[in-house]
Structure 1
Amino acid sequence: MIRKRGSLILCGTFLFITWNAILVLLLWGRPPSGQTEEHGQGKREVAERPTNDMVGDVLRMADTFEAELEMQRKILLQIKNQQSLWDPSNKNAPKVVVPPQLVIPILVIACNRVTVRRCLDKLLELRPSAELFPIIVSQDCGHAETAEVIRSYGNQVIHLKQPVLSDIAVRPEHKKFQGYYKISRHYRWALNQVFKTLSHSSAVVVEDDLEVAPDFFEYFQALLPLLKSDPTLWCVSAWNDNGRDGYVDPGSANLLYRTDFFPGLGWMLLREMWEELEPKWPASFWDDWMRQPEQRRGRACIRPEISRTLTFGRKGVSLGQFYDKYLRYIKLNTEFVPFTKLDLSYLKEEKYREHFEKEVYRAPVVTYEDVKQGQLKGTGPYRLQYSSKDSFKILAKNLGVMDDLKSGVPRTGYRGVVSFISKGRRIYLAPPPGWTKYDPSWS
């Protein structure tokens, strides 16, 4: 330190003699010792003026230089220590483990719609990361024009082609359902490519006639950890079957539900779930098969208050079933909700069920006439009770919500309860208290 201090003094003396005139002029212009200068809304201390004591000035400069050098040395050491943690060549240094963000591929099921461009354009426009959300388009049908549209995206998407396009042998009475058989075959092949060939651990499945909301990717990214950690869940869906404008709360874009009904239309599953389903995958009508109790096994899906997908494809193998009456009026969310920053633990099964049942069965019971004629007072919620399959279907149909059931489960239902908005008030279409299970004969 003495040798270092001496070197600095000699260096400072030389510099001081050389620059003496300039330094004196510059330093002389500063305010006297002990004064302060106004700086913005605060004050700062001002350095002392130089004196006629040359040696003393040099020593003070040397002290200042030494302190500055010591500070810089400490900063450089901190930087070096941090860099060593990430340096791949430093094998002996402790490593910083940064948890990787999970990759969620988007599997687009395509066939013969050149309007797949609308679906892909929106996915690519809104996708926050090509690495985290690779887009895989699996095409059936061998339709040349559709294939050309998909090829036009180059390396922005992965284009897979179903190799088997032949008709499937079916019973004569099922010949008109050939399209459903081919769709089921295609889903099986495409999901095998994603999970077995490409070895992904999760996937979001969308059809080529779906448009997605601004927070579509945010929604699935936030809910993947919940899906992985909660064994009572088996899927996450972007769709609300009763999500027509006027039947949802426009101020509750962040509201999510558990549902016993498999919604589809933009849904996420895990590889473990596919490994369970694939060996018994059905020859046709795969979506209704998913809604059977043997597959659902008491598990639920997550679905939003306001849909994160919108279907624009009226024509298909279903020949526009439900489209004109329901699907074309589904409200697509337009507000970006930062789901990854929200606490979603309320969706855990035990906590959710307890809160949901309290809210439903503490709500006052009202009649159909009260709801339909707008005679309800207050903000709600209110409970409208059904007691049989027929009473459910009559109430649902008259109130404008989906009235069909699959294996006894109503669309959007959770423990038999269907939640929707009617004339601005929350209505729970619910079975009597003490509900225990669905009746599969209600179909």
Structure 2
Amino acid sequence: MLRKRGSLIFCGTFLFVTWNAILVLLLWGRPQPGQPGEAGQEQGAPLEIPSDDVVGDVLRMADTFEAELERQKEILLQIQNHQSLWEPSNGNKVKAVAPEQPIIPILVIACNRVTVRRCVDKLLQHRPSAEHFPIIVSQDCGHAETAEVIRSYGDKVTHLKQPDLSDIAVRPEHKKFKGYYKISRHYRWALNQVFRTLSHSSVVIVEDDLEVAPDFFEYFRALLPLLKSDPSLWCVSAWNDNGRDGYVDPGKADLLYRTDFFPGLGWMLVREVWDELEPKWPASFWDDWMRQPEQRRDRACIRPEVSRTLTFGRQGVSLGQFFDKYLRYIKLNTEFVPFTKLDLSYLKEETYKQNFEKEVYSAPVVTYEAVKQGQLTGPGPFRLQYSSKDSFKMMAKNLGVMDDLKSGVPRAGYRGVVSFISRGRRIYLAPPPGWSKYDPTWS
């Protein structure tokens, strides 16, 4: 393209110079008053005074010449104006026109933990662009020390304060869960600020006890187009519920899955989904509410093999639930994967479903005892089949993967299948062939 535009400039300049040269030669070729022409000298003709017609002709040529000069000047100015759009501006370096990048704000949900600094520090450390990834810290609780930590970042972050700090009336049996009610209220307010007040079209939500991986931003930037274009998806998560060290393949940090389970813990949604959810947003337990069939509507999320977030917050409203047994051992990815340069079309619904089911149900079936005792031979993958809620929970628990179900959906599961590594081999904990739907009573 630059070569073509350079040729255009050269041609325009060449035509301008050539035209003027022709006009000059024509004028020089006319006999001048008081000078014999070459032909007259050769033939010995006497000196002649130009006629009135010749003088008029010269004057007309001069007028034409002047008008043409103005026209050529305008052409050159137009070429110059167009040239400024692509001309190198510094030395011999060509000014590259970068493709338009989306703006994806990072919403940090904070309350009363000064350790929010660890979360924000990592976000700032790995953030590739302040323009394309603005960081918004939304604080509830009115905790002064936490507010001071957030203010210390100056204009590197936007500090929002949830204005409604009033108490929430709950049923007596839910008194110990009041924190979950306040979190749900805060989420609703903060997401409305992002989508309604600030008019963003997407957002990545992290809580103040999450640390992010080096390719956290690259991951979400690459998956936003897929999330927007595929109506069978409704979120992208950085989290693998079974992502403990030893249960994932670190050599496949670029491997991504579809999952029917809403993972949370560093997740992206778009404004259209929020428009759908906000009018019926729950008073409490918003994450389990998201996992109900009425909200999920058979849609899936994208999640990684190796997590792009790590939680370091043992203390919180959940009082350390799952933290000591599972969460503290989650492996955080350390290898930067250039997701924006990879072909992610394999994650589209029909392609993924067909390929995933083919791989799962063509894998040889093995027994629970063989997996548990490490008696598998061959590289795998292998299929371990469950037939009931109880058999799933027994095998999952004893093999070290999370055994709880929400509305019948297992954590990290897709079409009932949970994928994990056991003793270096890929295991698919799967229902029998012909699976059609989840049973909400399995909870």
TM-score (structure 1 length as normaliser): 0.80
Indicate the residue corresponding to 2:174 in structure 1: 174
The percentage of aligned residue pairs carrying the same residue is 84
Deviation string for 1:123-142 (max 9, x for gaps)? 00110000100000000000
Cα gap change, 1:181/1:82 in structure 2, threshold over 3 Å: closer, same or farther?
A: same
Q: Structure 2 counterpart of 1:195, which letter?
A: F
Task: Indicate the SS of the match to 1:195.
Answer: helix
Deviation string for 1:300-348 (max 9, x for gaps)? 0000000000000000000000000000000000000000000000000
Cα gap change, 1:127/1:407 in structure 2, threshold over 3 Å: closer, same or farther?
A: same
Cα gap change, 1:114/1:3 in structure 2, threshold over 3 Å: closer, same or farther?
A: closer
Q: RMSD value over aligned CA atoms? A: 2.1
Task: Indicate the SS of the match to 1:427.
Answer: strand
Matched, 1:386 2:386: yes
Query: Aligned runs of 1:9-158 on 2, under 5 Å?
Result: 80-84=81-85, 100-158=100-158
Q: Structure 2 counterpart of 1:319, which letter?
A: L
Query: Aligned runs of 1:362-441 on 2, under 5 Å?
Result: 362-441=362-441
Q: Cα offset for 1:378?
A: 1.0
Query: Aligned runs of 1:212-231 on 2, under 5 Å?
Result: 212-231=212-231
Q: Cα offset for 1:81?
A: 2.8
Matched, 1:357 2:357: yes
Cα gap change, 1:98/1:79 in structure 2, threshold over 3 Å: closer, same or farther?
A: farther
Deviation string for 1:63-96 (max 9, x for gaps)? xxxxxxxxxxxx999775342589xxxxxxxxx9
| Unmatched 5+ stretches in structure 2 | 1-17, 25-75, 88-95
User: Quick one: distance in 2 between partners of 1:295 and 1:173?
Assistant: 26
Indicate the residue corresponding to 1:10 in structure 2: none
Indicate the residue corresponding to 1:89 in structure 2: none
User: Quick one: distance in 2 between partners of 1:77 and 1:338?
Assistant: 42
User: Quick one: distance in 2 between partners of 1:2 and 1:283?
Assistant: 80
Task: Indicate the SS of the match to 2:364.
Answer: coil
User: Quick one: distance in 1 between partners of 2:376 and 2:165?
Assistant: 56
Task: Indicate the SS of the match to 1:160.
Answer: strand
Deviation string for 1:245-302 (max 9, x for gaps)? 0000010000000000000000000000000000000000000000000000000000
Q: Structure 2 counterpart of 1:386, which letter?
A: Y
Q: Cα offset for 1:390?
A: 0.2
Query: Aligned runs of 1:291-330 on 2, under 5 Å?
Result: 291-330=291-330
Cα gap change, 1:439/1:82 in structure 2, threshold over 3 Å: closer, same or farther?
A: farther
Task: Indicate the SS of the match to 1:226.
Answer: helix
Q: Cα offset for 1:373?
A: 1.3
Higher gyration radius (CA): 2
Q: Structure 2 counterpart of 1:324, which letter?
A: D
Moved over 2 A (4+): 1-5, 75-86, 96-100
Cα gap change, 1:353/1:79 in structure 2, threshold over 3 Å: closer, same or farther?
A: farther
Cα gap change, 1:346/1:3 in structure 2, threshold over 3 Å: closer, same or farther?
A: closer
Indicate the residue corresponding to 1:233 in structure 2: 233
User: Quick one: distance in 2 between partners of 1:153 and 1:418?
Assistant: 41
Q: Cα offset for 1:100?
A: 2.5
User: Quick one: distance in 1 between partners of 2:20 and 2:310?
Assistant: 77
User: Quick one: distance in 1 between partners of 2:83 and 2:416?
Assistant: 56
Q: Structure 2 counterpart of 1:366, which letter?
A: V
Task: Indicate the SS of the match to 2:365.
Answer: coil
Q: Structure 2 counterpart of 1:333, which letter?
A: N
| Unmatched 5+ stretches in structure 1 | 8-74, 87-95
User: Quick one: distance in 1 between partners of 2:255 and 2:156?
Assistant: 32
User: Quick one: distance in 1 between partners of 2:410 and 2:19?
Assistant: 86
User: Quick one: distance in 2 between partners of 1:175 and 1:269?
Assistant: 31
Task: Indicate the SS of the match to 1:306.
Answer: coil
Indicate the residue corresponding to 1:68 in structure 2: none
User: Quick one: distance in 1 between partners of 2:377 and 2:177?
Assistant: 49
TM-score (structure 2 length as normaliser): 0.80
User: Quick one: distance in 1 between partners of 2:228 and 2:379?
Assistant: 36
Deviation string for 1:15-34 (max 9, x for gaps)? xxxxxxxxxxxxxxxxxxxx
User: Quick one: distance in 1 between partners of 2:369 and 2:309?
Assistant: 33
Aligned length: 367
Task: Indicate the SS of the match to 1:241.
Answer: coil
Indicate the residue corresponding to 1:343 in structure 2: 343
User: Quick one: distance in 1 between partners of 2:279 and 2:262?
Assistant: 19
Cα gap change, 1:3/1:345 in structure 2, threshold over 3 Å: closer, same or farther?
A: closer
Q: Structure 2 counterpart of 1:442, which letter?
A: W
User: Quick one: distance in 1 between partners of 2:374 and 2:198?
Assistant: 54
Q: Structure 2 counterpart of 1:347, which letter?
A: L
Indicate the residue corresponding to 2:189 in structure 1: 189
Q: Structure 1 counterpart of 2:261, which letter?
A: F
Q: Structure 2 counterpart of 1:120, which letter?
A: V
User: Quick one: distance in 2 between partners of 1:76 and 1:208?
Assistant: 57
Q: Structure 2 counterpart of 1:318, which letter?
A: S
Indicate the residue corresponding to 2:6 in structure 1: none
